[in-house]
Amino acid sequence: MRFTAFFSEPAARAVRRSGLCKFAVLVAVSGGGVVAYADASSNHTEFSQGTPKKKLVVLGTGWAGTSFLKNLDTSLYDVRVVSPRNYFAFTPLLPSVTCGTVEPRSIVEPIRSITQKKTGPVGFFEAECYKIDPANKKVLCRSSIGTNLDGNGEFELDYDYLVVALGAKSNTFNTPGVTEHCHFLKEIEDAQRIRRSVMDCFEKASLPSLSEEERKKNLHFIVVGGGPTGVEFSAALHDFIKEDLSKLYPDIKDLVKISLIEAADRLLTMFDKRITEFAEEKFKKDGIDVKMHYKVVKVSDKAITMTNTAAGEVNVPYGMVVWSTGIGTRPIMLDLMKEIGQGDRRVLATDEWLRVLGCENVYALGDCATITQRKVMEDICAIFKVAGKGNSGTLTVKEIKDVLDDIIERYPQVALYMKTKQMKDFSDLLKDSEGDSFKESVELDVERFKKALAQVDSKVKILPATAQVAAQEGEYLARCFNKMKKCEEKPEGPPRIRGTGRHRFKPFRYRHFGQFAPLGGGQTAAQLPYDWISIGHSTQWLWYSVYASKQVSWRTRFLVISDWMRKVVFGRDSSCI
> Does residue 167 sit in helix, strand or coil?
coil
Three-class secondary structure of residue 271 per DSSP: coil
Candidate list 7, 34, 42, 84; residue touching ligand FAD; CB under 6 A? 84
Closer to Mg ion by Cβ: residue 291 or 374: 374
What is the edge-to-edge ordering of all strands in the sheet holding 77-83? 154-158, 138-143, 122-133, 77-83, 54-59, 161-164, 362-364
Q: Does 60 bind ligand FAD (CB under 6 A)?
A: yes
Strands 138-143 and 122-133: antiparallel
Beta bridge partners of 184: 323
Taking CB under 6 A as the rule, which mask of x and - marks residues 360-399 in contact with ligand FAD?
Answer: ------xxx-------------------------------
Choice between 32 and 167, CB closer to ligand FAD: 167
Q: Which of 59, 312, 279, 75 is nearest to 161 (CA)?
A: 59
Contact between 94 and ligand FAD (CB under 6 A)? yes
* Closest-approach residue to ligand FAD (CB): 62
Tell me whether residue 94 or residue 102 sits nearer to ligand FAD (CB atom). 94
Residues in 228-247 that interact with ligand FAD by CB under 6 A: 229
Instruction: For residue 142, state whether it binds ligand FAD (rule: CB under 6 A).
Output: no
* 356 touches ligand FAD (CB under 6 A): no
**What are the distances in angstroms from CA 514 to CA 96, 112, 405, 466, 534?**
20, 31, 26, 11, 11
Enumerate residues 339-378 that contact Mg ion by CB under 5 A: 370
325 binds, among Mg ion, ligand FAD, none (CB under 5 to 8 A by kind): none
Distance in angstroms (rounded) separating the CA atoms of residues 335 and 330: 9
Among ligand FAD, Mg ion, none, what binds residue 319 when CB lies within 5 to 8 Å by partner kind?
none
Which of 16-23's residues contact partners 24+ apart within 8 Å by CB, and which partners?
19/485, 20/75, 20/119, 23/53, 23/75, 23/76, 23/120
Instruction: Cite the beta strand spans of 225-373 per DSSP E.
Output: 257-261, 289-291, 295-299, 303-308, 312-317, 320-323, 327-328, 348-350, 362-364, 369-371
If one asks whether residue 129 binds ligand FAD (CB under 6 A), the answer comes out as: yes
- Among residues 91 and 539, whose Cβ is nearest to ligand FAD? 91
Residue 542 binds ligand FAD (CB under 6 A): no
Q: Which of 63, 124, 202, 318 binds ligand FAD (CB under 6 A)?
A: 63
64 lines the binding site for ligand FAD (CB under 6 A) = yes
Instruction: Choose, by CB under 6 A, the member of 59, 99, 235, 456 that binds ligand FAD.
Output: 59
* Count, residues near Mg ion per rule CB under 5 A: 1
Smaller CB distance to ligand FAD: residue 75 or 329?
329
Report the first-to-last Cα separation within the chain, whole angstroms: 42
* Separation in Å, CA 152 to CA 54, 55, 128: 28, 25, 12
- Give me the least distance between CB of 60 and ligand FAD, in Å please: 3
Closest CA to 385 of 373, 398, 405, 399: 399
Q: Does residue 163 bind ligand FAD (CB under 6 A)? A: no
Contact in structure between 321 and 224 (CB atoms under 8 Å): yes
Least Cα distance to 199 among 232, 254, 240 occurs for 240
SS3 string, 113-142, reads: HHHHCCCCCEEEEEEEEEEEECCCCEEEEE
Residue 168 and residue 156 in contact, taking contact as beta carbons nearer than 8 Å: no
Q: In this complex, which beta carbon is closest to ligand FAD, that of residue 82 or of residue 383?
A: 82
Q: Binding to ligand FAD by residue 467, rule CB under 6 A? A: yes
98 near ligand FAD, rule: CB under 6 A: no
Taking the CB of residue 499, how many other CB atoms lie within 10 A of it?
9
Question: At its nearest, how many Å lie between ligand FAD and the CB of residue 474?
Answer: 7
* Cα–Cα nearest to 254, from 215, 302, 211, 214: 215
Cβ–Cβ under 8 Å, residues 525 and 519? yes
Q: Are strands 161-164 and 362-364 parallel, antiparallel or unpaired?
A: parallel
Q: Which of 107, 332, 340, 497 binds ligand FAD (CB under 6 A)?
A: 332
Told to check if 225 binds ligand FAD by CB under 6 A, we report no
Residues in contact with ligand FAD, counted by CB under 6 A, come to a total of: 32
Q: Does 188 bind ligand FAD (CB under 6 A)?
A: no
Q: Minimum distance between the CB of residue 393 and ligand FAD, rounded to whole angstroms?
A: 47
Binding flag, residue 465, ligand FAD (CB under 6 A): yes
Q: Does 106 bind ligand FAD (CB under 6 A)?
A: no
From ligand FAD, Mg ion, none, which one binds at residue 539 (CB under 5 to 8 Å depending on kind)? Answer: none
Binding residues (CB under 5 A) for Mg ion: these are 370
Binding residues (CB under 6 A) for ligand FAD: these are 59-65, 82-85, 91-92, 94-95, 128-129, 165-167, 185-186, 229, 332, 366-368, 465-468, 470
